[in-house]
Amino acid sequence: MASDLETIQNYINDFKLTLERLSPESITAVIKVLRKARDNKKHVFSFGNGSSAGTADVLGVAYGKGVLKNSLLPGRASLRLISLASNMPLFSAWANDSAFEDVFSEQLLTMGDEGDAAIGISASGNSPNVIKGLQTARHMNMTTIGWTGFDGGKMKEFCDICFTVPSSNMEHIEDIHMILNHIILHCLRNE
């Protein structure tokens, strides 16, 4: 059995290797979509389950505040990002009264418009409600973005841009999705 120190070092080493295999081109493609949405005063909707719901919520905070137009940055447009995972009363109402698979797609039908963007986050790429949300967004002529891992799962066929973490380690995938959030934040803020 590995010691704690060996386990920690193995995690860090494997994580570094995964980071080195990321696609900067996929990241810049996501940044381009978010800039366009911001500049055209369109909404960006983020959604996911479990830890991915947490990442979707952090996107709302980081992008809503971190690149927000304010007195320190006059003339900068705000990025209008809404996490569909954060309104638990609405989320649970759709899950209870319709189906869990509909929790994101129904919110998009209510709040979304053509030209908006949707970021579906699923480490496996196979979450039925995230897939349905991306399908709905695509049907509404939104730009669809997926954040996933493994081989991209089923959701990759419904994404205009699919950022896939090249790993089968769930924790690495979730860690890198949060890092991706901060990389994009820095790029948008440092224009």
Could you list the mean pLDDT of each consecutive 10-residue stretch along the chain, which spans 191 residues?
94 96 94 93 96 91 65 67 92 92 97 98 98 98 98 97 97 96 87 71
Predicted confidence at residue 189, as pLDDT, reads 80
Q: Architecture of 26-189 per CATH?
A: 3-Layer(aba) Sandwich (3.40)
pLDDT of the residue at 124? 97
Q: How far is CA 28 from CA 38, 68, 84, 137, in A?
A: 15, 20, 24, 21
Please name which of 162, 136, 191, 142 lies closest in space to residue 25, comparing C-alpha atoms.
Answer: 162
What pLDDT, on the 0 to 100 scale, is given for residue 109? 97
pLDDT, position 179: 95
**pLDDT computed for residue 186 by the predictor:** 85
pTM here is 0.93
- What pLDDT, on a 0 to 100 scale, did the predictor assign at position 61? 78
Question: Which pLDDT score, from 0 to 100, does residue 168 have?
Answer: 96
In this prediction, residue 67 carries a pLDDT of: 59
Rg (CA), the chain: 17
In 3D, which of 62, 85, 184, 80 has the Cα closest to residue 133? 85
